[in-house]
Amino acid sequence: MTDPVIVERREGWHKIFLNRPDKLNALNPSVLAGLTAAFDAAEADRFCRALLLTGAGRGFCAGQELSDAIIPGPANPSPDLGGIARSYHQGVIARLRGLPLPVVCAVNGVAAGAGANIALACDVVLAGRGASFVQAFVRIGLVPDCAGTFFLPRLIGDARARALAMLGEPVTATQAEAWGLIWQAVDDDALTFEAEAMTARLAALPTEALAMMKRLFDASAINTLDAQLDLEASTQAAAGRTTDYAEGVRAFLAKRRPAFTGGR
């Protein structure tokens, strides 16, 4: 059996492929468990300072596998889809957001349903111009999960978030960039190069500071201004104790490029 998730170890970073190309990398328990294991492996590898997530084949991810979807019927009039969301989707998003590493997503084709929202949970999202983002849930009578209702309004505002979720219309990569849903749309044949270069670039930055930024931005979604200012101050105190901070200042004063080690 082919691995549903493949991890390639590169110099300073890992590349993770969702690997069910004939199903546009639709999610099932094996994919979701593989994804979590890949995140665990990245965090455990002290030489890994960034992650790149992408899909094998022509799609990024078509959301939850529908061929074994549990639907209400005489045998099971009240199926619990919340169980799947709680057991798998919630954990994957929490793990991804909590990783002390920057995560780049290379959206190489359609990203639908939970697949779209996993992409949007990454720190820096690049997409090929042929890619699209679809909040497909409404097409089958479901609501966005994988934190779509959290990320979408914060990224593109409430009006666009609601319309995308309710209409289930695809958004092209170019439109997604114009709306601020993603960082950048690039030519399809340049996506791998650009995404790998971006990941390598992030892997050479002060990893602990990037991890702290992730926590700051996540906290800002719910904090008051005063609470966020306090958190910035305490986080700056922690950043100021890292060896990469010392290296950054020394390099500036010596007029040379810093050689950050990431403290990992």
Residues near ligand T3D (CB under 6 A) are 23-24, 26, 62-67, 69, 81, 84, 110, 112-114, 134, 136-137, 139-140, 142, 145
Query: Facing residues of 154 across strands?
Result: none
Rounded (5°) CA angle 148-164-101: 30
d(CA 105, CA 111): 11
Residue placing its CB nearer to ligand T3D in the complex, 57 or 100: 57
The least distance separating ligand T3D from the CB of residue 124, rounded to whole angstroms, comes to 23
Beta carbon nearer to ligand T3D, 94 or 246: 94
**Residue 254: CB minimum distance to ligand T3D, A:** 51
| Strand order across the beta sheet in which 171-172 lies | 110-112, 132-134, 171-172
As a whole number of angstroms, the distance between CA 255 and CA 84 comes to 53
> Pseudo-torsion of CA 183, 136, 5, 107, nearest 10°?
-20
Minimum gap (Å) between residue 143 Cβ and ligand T3D: 9
**Shortest approach of ligand T3D to residue 31 CB, angstroms?**
11
Smallest gap from Cβ 181 to ligand T3D, in A, equals 17
- Taking the least distance from each CB to ligand T3D, the nearer of 101 and 136 is 136
We find the least distance from the C-beta atom of residue 190 to ligand T3D, in angstroms, to be: 21
